[in-house]
Amino acid sequence: MGLVVGGSLSRGVEVRLDPAFPVEQVKVGSFVTIQGEQQRFFGIVSDIALETSDPFLRAAPPGASEPFIASALAGVGAFAIAQVLPQLALGTDALSILEGPQPARSIPAHFAPVHQASEQDIQTVFGQEDHRHLWIGSPLDMEGTRVCLDLGELVKRSNGVFGKSGTGKTFLTRILLAGILQKSVAVNLVFDMHNEYGWQGTREEGPTVKGLKQLFPSSVAVFSLDPDSSRRRGLSPDAQVRIGYGEIEPEDIVVLEETLNLTPQGVQAVYSLVRRFGQEAWLAEFLARESREALATLAEETNEVFPVLFTLHRRLRTLGRMPFLTSNPPESAVDRVLEYLDRGTHVVLEFGRYQDDLPAYILVTNLLTRRIHERYVQRSEAAMGDRAREPRPLLITIEEAHRFLTPTVASQTIFGTIAREMRKYRVTLLVVDQRPSGIDDEVLSQLGTRFVYLLDNERDVDAVLAGASGARELRTVLSRLESRQQALIFGHALPMPMVVRTREYGSEASYREWGFREAAELQKQLEQDARDLFG
């Protein structure tokens, strides 16, 4: 491919391409290997440039009618330079091979030969699919070569999937969730705002795609806030979620401050209402006082300002119009979810007709997550020192994550707490969002692995690359992604940043790769098994 002619560890090395190697075959994001004297380096192409050794060639280049002169100058007076970021070093001795790829802390010498990475190189660096590794996609221009992700490492920290609308975030999230389920490295709790992960999902064109429940019917339970909507889509939910007024605590109101346009004084008044009526009754009692006279009396009783209570009452009436909120729920939604999670069943909570009701989504997601996290904290502390009693690792998936993790509320929400705890209590997050710039910087810095599709806002690009090694070069790689199905992935769950074309999800062939078989095919197999058994 070429030879190293310069560069540095921080900026990457410069590779002068061989005249016989077509510059158009070198693409930003491609993998290359560099053979040093004592070790082999594995890197990624971050930029490509055309150079000349004689400034005269820029002023008077050979014309299109002089192909012989142009070919004579190519590679001598005019040449191409590829910028390569060495990410990993692979030793040649037995001990180094056993230890595997290590972060590159040096660079190859001048004139070290550079080659395009082979399929064997990819397998050496990223591993092969096994009980922990999931095939996530293929390198650019290496169709058929599989890049694998270490799911065991992935679920140890919170992670993020980012990209503008239509780039493929939902499809990649389905792949990650299905892989975590299939490899049994954690249990999933998915807050399915747009009804995309449970029974079936949508795509911009073409038929619907199968959700987790269709692919793994015995391992997935679908809960629903709106069972009628689920049944219209061909699914009978495993449980209906009902939440009692008495379960809503002041911490659940704090996260609604921006969405319901609550004032800081109004949020503080909620604590006064809890002291006046008690946790179980405060919201029902407050909403029942509908007249100005009743609210004025309540203002005197709680020593609050009447306009504050009046405005708070008007805003919180939104909650009173949510049918899934009730005075006496038949069962605890938290207990029911934990019952399924404890036996290893993955839970998807569909929102049905509330998919565009942001206050409902934020309230339910925050309330359930906070209480489930409390249980995990109790269990983890009770099992201290006894690994056999530790709860299963739990990955919680949330969409529209910036609604919970803005700089103003991240420190007050359970999601900010989970992101900062990392895996302390065996609960982590998978945040899915198209506006990473809206997420608190501290939370973003705690995300272990980031899956980044094309972003068209500079603030979003800055946010998602903040703290990443080689951020300037990765920005160039990110800006060259195609608008669909190409992602830059970097972080804790893989040894180096990579650009992949994510694997297909939605075709019959892709379903079979997950072990799914249509009913007719399954029946045919059962009949064949019966003939084999009984003759």
Q: Residue 488 pairs with which residues in a beta bridge? A: 452, 499
N-term to C-term CA, the chain: 61
* Band (534; pLDDT cuts 50, 70, 90): low
The pLDDT tens digits for 426-484 are 999 999 999 999 998 888 988 999 999 999 899 999 999 988 888 888 898 898 899 88
521 has pLDDT over 70: no
For strands 78-91 and 39-52, give the pairing.
Answer: antiparallel
Question: What pLDDT score was predicted for residue 390?
Answer: 85
Measured CA to CA, the distance from residue 104 to residue 88 in angstroms comes to: 5
525 has pLDDT over 90: no
Poorest-pLDDT segment among 86-95, 447-456, 486-495: 86-95
The pLDDT tens digits for 96-149 are 666 778 889 999 999 999 999 999 999 889 988 999 999 999 998 888 899 999
Average pLDDT over residues 498-525: 79
Which residues fall within 8 angstroms of residue 533, CB to CB, at 6 or more apart? none
* Band (61; pLDDT cuts 50, 70, 90): confident
Average pLDDT over residues 156-162: 94
Residue 268 CB neighbours (<10 A): 14
Measure CA 125 to chain center: 22
Measured CA to CA, the distance from residue 411 to residue 416 in angstroms comes to: 6
Task: Tell me how far CA of residue 392 lies from CA of 184, 188, 339, 397, 505, in angstroms.
Answer: 10, 10, 12, 16, 27
Question: What pLDDT score was predicted for residue 524?
Answer: 59
Asked if residues 88 and 6 have their Cβ atoms less than 8 Å apart, the reply is no
The closest alpha carbon to 180, from 348, 405, 333, belongs to 348
Question: What pLDDT score was predicted for residue 98?
Answer: 63
The closest alpha carbon to 33, from 135, 136, 139, 129, belongs to 139
236 has pLDDT over 70: yes
Tell me the one-letter amino acid at 212: L
The pLDDT tens digits for 361-372 are 999 999 999 999
